[in-house]
Amino acid sequence: MEDHGIFALNLEGPICKCKDSIPQEKFSTLRMKPDVIKILKKLGVNIVFLANNHTADYGERGILETIEILRNNDIKFIGAGTNFAEAFSPLILELSRVKIGFINFTTVFTPQSRATAEKVGVAGVRMKTRIMITPYDLVEEPGAPYIVDADPIQEDLDYVIKIIKTLKENVDLLVVYVHWGIGTLPFSSIVLEYQRRLGRALIDAGATLVVGSHPHIILPAERYRNRLIIYSLGNFVFSHQDPRLSFSKVGGVLHLDVESMNVRVMPICLNFNGLPELCKRPYEKIYELFSFITKSEEFGVKVKELEGGWLDLA
């Protein structure tokens, strides 16, 4: 990998013609036409994360066509594959003589989307949801989101932990990118307890940095054992319009200096067409950014606004 940098992003759906492919029966399905690859190339994208709840929206054919298009255009991918082992396979790149390992998985997906030993799919960590029955809560606040909790199935979590522990011995820096949490507002603004537990478990196993996606809103960063967990960067580009879905138009671009380990976030605001523009300042007047700054500080991260609008996460 050339020293000019790595530009990685979550690819929220297949790139395919998907002729004769029947979309999954699910709440929302996404697809991008093959021409979108020209935009990715123009932006300088060289890695895409595929472990999410939309990559398999058009079935195995959609995934295979996406992989073929990415390979033909020299864009590396992670988080999906022709089988379970390939989907969970880590990626190692070198930048400025620093070896960087990437791991990508999702906790949000339909059962048919998950790769198996013999089936194309995404790197899915299965979850078990439970309802915490507390009589006072159920009576006074029925339906409250904190009544529900979830945890990874231990077998799946152990598999990811094993990959991290093995990989950390061979890299200088290990980034785990996780698709998790709740997608749409108002509940997407909540950092779920399972996200905090899982993020910390990934750091305990050896991750240098944990970055999340799926909530279509920027969520706070947390400092744990002097390492960062960034729960969601929100949207970078999102032109999909669906009146049933409620999204934030505020996101962020993360910059990691692999030599100093300095982490910065550039806030971006989507325009009417769903394309990114620099947010107007002061950030304190934009609710999502005010929340990102204040809640990050509650989670032990000192956020400092730098010249040019970058937010330094110290």
pLDDT digits (tens, 9 = 90+) for 2-51: 456 899 999 999 999 987 778 888 888 889 999 999 999 999 999 999 99
For the chain, state the CA radius of gyration: 19
pTM recorded for the entire structure: 0.94
CA 62 to chain CA centroid, Å, is 20
Give the pLDDT confidence score for residue 243 in this predicted structure. Answer: 65
CB atoms near residue 9 (< 10 Å): 18
CATH assignment, 8-124+160-313? 3.60.21
Q: Where are the domains of the chain?
A: 8-124+160-313
Residue 264, token pair as written in the block: 């910065």
Amino acid at 163: I
What whole-number distance in Å separates Cα of residue 77 and Cα of residue 70? Answer: 7
Residue range 38-89, pLDDT digits in tens: 999 999 999 999 999 999 999 999 999 999 999 999 999 999 999 999 999 9
Please, which residues bridge with residue 211 across strands?
Answer: 177, 230
What stretch of H or E contains 103?
strand 98-106
Helix and strand numbers (H, E) in the chain are: 7, 18
